[in-house]
A and B are shown apart, each in its own frame.
Chain A
Amino acid sequence: MYFANPMFFIFVILIAFVVLLYFFRKQYKAVINPSNLLWHQAMNEWKASPWIQKLQHNLLFWLQIIALTLLMTALAKPIMLSEGVKGEQLIWIVDTSATMSALKADKPLIEQSKQQMKQIADRLNDQEVTVIVAGTKPKILLNRESNINVIQKTIDGIAVTYEHENIEKSVKLAESLVSNRKTYIHIFSDSVKKEDLTDQLGNVSYEIHNAHGIQDNVALLSFGVSGKENRISGLVVIENQGEKSKTVPFVITSENQTVFQQKVTIPAGKHMVVNVPDLPQRRFYQALIKSGDKYSADDELTAVYSVLKPNVYALGEINPFFIKGFETLGIKTVQMDQNSILGLKESGIILAEGIPVDALPKMPAIYINKKQNSAELIELKEPIKGTDSSLTDYVNIDKTYIKYASSPITGNWENIVDSGNHPLIQTGKMNGQPGIILNFSLENTDWPLHPGFPIFLFNSYQWLTNQTGFLGYFRPGEEKWLQLKDHNTSIEIFNASGKSLSTLRLNKENFKAPYKPGIYQAVSEGQVYYFSVLLDDREKRPNSEASFILNGSKDNKKELTLKPNASMWFWLTCLVLLLLMVEWEVYRRGFRA
């Protein structure tokens, strides 16, 4: 402890003055008294009485002295030396990966990290704190903040994001933020190893706080379903990462119904493949193990019976530009003949040209309405106009030159692109399946030369797949541009228990998946889509590491920093006020020295 304003100690003179005042003040009033004999005895007895009574005798004097001393001390502004935090700038990298959700003493590990951060925050002394959340993409939550309240609030706001932590990237980011040498980087994680960091270290000191937690974990590594020979079978891989063999109940549910149930015994450290031979045909399956371990994020997996990236099956005489276009988009295109397509069990998208409409299989299709004889072709005179649709986004179809178009097929179609009153691109249902009809053939256009052509193909592909109702698999918190039927609408996301999580306006913002793994519903204009958020595979193997310090100063003892205890003078002054009140009361009662 030291004093910020030791100047004020000259007020000792004031106290000395009060003492002097008391010395001189003591003048006795002479009174002639008959009973001095007894007074003598009384005084003798009093003089022999304990000192505390004598203190009480001069109560007012002592109270004044104490009050003045305290006041002086308060003015001198005592400053306590309290334990501080090393470094002028602090960077905290917080791991919010799924493994941080593992429970330890009924609290997630992230809470332990937050607790540690708060403890450090309490000891801060005007130091700047930068908080980085080590998600897949590191995110800076706070930049050089020194307000403790803001820091505490930010710490409170940190939650598990179920992403896989990218410590390496975060550390790089942190290092780029280092402005002076006295920077300390704290990493709050569960499994950071020395080797993970050593090769990229700068001159900065690191302190790694690893929260220990998970010992024996049973994880559902993978779960898939596939259709084969008119049967749907599933495959599950369960791993026991603990040291004891474990028996866990394993359940597959679908739409709140249990469709498969089995008890699985897995030896320690081994994984086991469970084959589920026969499953009823459903859209989604949820595999669940009731392992009762501390880490529950890896106990559930969702599989969708649907082909996520369906192949494109070309039927008939397809213009090679289509095939090339799809291939540049990374979509597998398979040439088929009419007979083999009927035996196809897997779903896919049909790209058909030059075959009758009713010959199409029951699949989403892009149908090119090509008339064989040129007599049926119509020469287009009027400019090409596209309506505002998700299919024509960024396509700029009006710049395309189309010489001849085929006469449209009768049916209930929606016109997407037309020229005058002649429809060129139409959408609708064919055989109960979504379809896109092009009323022209590529030979009669310059479209493949336009950049809009592959975009149109991508849009169509997206549009057709989305019509199946499954949006796909997402990583926790993944953002993706989604192509729905009508991109002006908003989309509302519900979790499996039907609770609304968020509403997104797709024309303004990207689709962002929730953080928690599981199956979700997205509802847009009455149409229900499903998507699944999957845990990163690396998050299925939680492990613990010990905390350590890198590049730290050799003396490991906690550095004492000067932390002015601003409240001290305040309490001292309060005490003085209290003493003054006591003095007044003492004076009122006539205890006068």
Chain B
Amino acid sequence: MTAHLHSMLSRLTKLRLMAKTRRRGAHKGGRTANKFGTSLEFSDFRLYQPGDDVRQIDWNIYGRTQKHYIKRFLDEQEIAVTVFLDASASMQTIDTKWNRAKELAAIFSYIALSGEDRLSFIPVSSWPYGKVSRKGTVYGKKVFFDILQLPKHEVVGTFTENIHKNLLKNNQLSILITDGLEPLDSIESLFRLIAAAKQEVKLIQLLGKEEIEPNYSGDVKLIDSESRETVNVSINDSILGNYQKQVKEHNRKLEALCRRFGFSYLVTTDDADLQSFLFHECTAKRMLY
């Protein structure tokens, strides 16, 4: 698994996180800002005023016009990116799903770091563990593999309950990696909270294959991984059909909710091809470029 991720890392460095927001962080970064700064991007000329930096005078123009002009450049600044990984029990129950969730979190963290953005990686759980806050390409690989090593752990509570403690103030872009298997009401209240912080949000809904096409048979007593509630189900075609209809309906409502709040929404499964998800679906949805 890691082998193919290794080979992918070089390709991932070329990707950048798309952010529509014009808000920028305080530090220098890789994104053009609308302030004047020190990048190579030329902005304009301006007549010298006393107090301006003498180093900025364009002597070539002075030679031709005998006037002092300053040459100005646009600034390049960072943005603060937070990757929230839903580490609730529902994500950890299925191994493949949990692994894929970690991979996605690691990849987006790596992209953020390699794009000179400030990264905060927060595994959302009741247990404060594995948080990363870094800036700089040099940390990219380390963070990437740290996230992949994230262990399973006992968790209480749901994603929406736990995320409140972790919301950051100075943050421009949030990437939520979750399965969204929670009542839509609580998801909506969470969205409202995030939207109030004027952040740009990208939601990646990750579902396990067996959540979309359950392979249960016979009589099963389904125990909820988070609430421990039980449902007795005797599997048959009509119930399966009902369930799949419910999954579709839930996803549709979730997407509608995202659209209402102006969030980007992407859905993927744990058995989907990672490369095509990143290089096609994410670019198509203008999440990466």
Contact = CB atoms under 8 A, between A and B. Distances in A.
B232 A28 contact: yes
A20 interface: no
Contacts of B239: 42-43, 46, 57
A42 B236 contact: no
Interface stretch (A32-40, A314-322, A357-365, A448-456): A32-40
Interface stretch (A404-412, A425-433, A585-593): A585-593
A53 interface: yes
Contacts of B223: 30-33, 36
A28 B246 contact: no
B227 A38 contact: no
B255 to A, nearest CB: 16
A43 B231 CA distance: 8
B208 A39 contact: no
B221 A45 contact: no
Interface string A555-587: 000000000000000000000000000000000
Contacts of B218: 29, 592
B242 A32 contact: no
Given A27-B219, A31-B223, A34-B179, A42 B211 contact: no
B225 A33 contact: yes
A26 B232 CA distance: 10
Contact of A35 (B211, B217, B232): B211
Contacts of A42: 239, 242-243, 245-246
Nearest to B231: A39
Contacts of A256: none
A49 interface: yes
A299 B246 CA distance: 89
Contact of B208 (A34, A36, A40, A53): A34
Interface string A11-36: 00000000000000011111111111
A41 interface: yes
Contacts of B183: 37
B247 A43 contact: no
B219 A38 contact: no
Interface string B130-145: 0000000000000000
Contacts of A262: none
B275 interface: no
Contacts of B246: 38-39, 41-42, 45
Contacts of B211: 34-35, 38
Most chain A beta carbons < 10 A, residue from B89, B217, B243: B243
A215 interface: no
B94 interface: yes
B60 to A, nearest CB: 66
Contacts, number: 102
B219 A43 contact: no
B181 interface: yes
Given A37-B183, A38-B246, A32 B234 contact: no
A286 B63 CA distance: 156
Contacts of A39: 222, 231, 233, 243, 246
Contacts of A34: 89-91, 93-94, 97, 179, 181, 208, 211, 224-226
A45 B233 CA distance: 12
B179 A591 contact: no
A130 to B, nearest CB: 65
A56 interface: yes
A36 B220 CA distance: 12
Nearest to A589: B237
A46 B242 contact: yes
What DSSP secondary structure best describes chain B's contact surface?
Answer: mixed
Given A36-B229, A57-B236, A593-B234, A30 B221 contact: yes
Contacts of B229: 36, 40
Contact of B236 (A28, A38, A56): A56
Interface residues of A, number: 28
A29 B215 CA distance: 13
B182 interface: yes
Given A28-B220, A45-B246, A57 B238 contact: yes
A46 B233 CA distance: 10
Interface string B1-27: 000000000000000000000000000
Contacts of B245: 42
Contacts of A30: 220-221, 223
Nearest to B182: A37
Interface string B153-172: 00000000000000000000
Contacts of A591: 236-237
B238 A33 contact: no
A590 B232 CA distance: 18
Contact of A45 (B219, B222, B224, B242): B242
Nearest to A53: B238
B14 to A, nearest CB: 34
Given A38-B181, A39-B233, A42-B243, A33 B224 contact: yes
Interface in A294-345: none
A593 B233 CA distance: 11
Contacts of B222: 31-33, 36, 39
Contacts of B94: 34
A499 to B, nearest CB: 73
B216 interface: yes
Nearest to A592: B218
Nearest to B247: A38
Contacts of A37: 181-183, 224, 250
Nearest to A30: B221
Nearest to B224: A36
Nearest to A29: B220
Nearest to B219: A28
A210 to B, nearest CB: 66
A30 B91 CA distance: 19
Most chain B beta carbons < 10 A, residue from A29, A30, A35, A56: A35
A31 B179 contact: no
A39 B179 CA distance: 15
A49 B236 CA distance: 14
B277 to A, nearest CB: 20
Contacts of A38: 181, 211, 243, 246-247, 250
Contacts of B93: 32-34
Contacts of B225: 32-34, 36
Contacts of B227: 36
Interface string B195-228: 0000000000000100100001111111111110
Nearest to A37: B181
A350 to B, nearest CB: 110
Interface in B47-93: 89-91, 93
Contacts of B226: 34
Contacts of B89: 34
A53 B237 CA distance: 10
A30 B242 CA distance: 21
Contacts of A40: 229, 231
Nearest to B248: A38
Interface in B237-271: 237-239, 242-243, 245-247, 250
Contacts of A35: 90, 181, 211, 247
Contacts of B247: 35, 38
Contacts of B238: 46, 49, 53, 56-57
A409 to B, nearest CB: 116
12 contacts: A31-B216, A31-B222, A32-B224, A34-B208, A36-B224, A36-B230, A37-B182, A43-B231, A43-B239, A46-B238, A46-B242, A591-B237
Given A37-B182, A42-B243, A43-B231, 6 more contacts: A32-B222, A34-B93, A35-B247, A36-B227, A38-B181, A591-B236
Which 3 residue pairs spanning A and B have beta carbons closest together? A28-B221, A36-B224, A34-B90
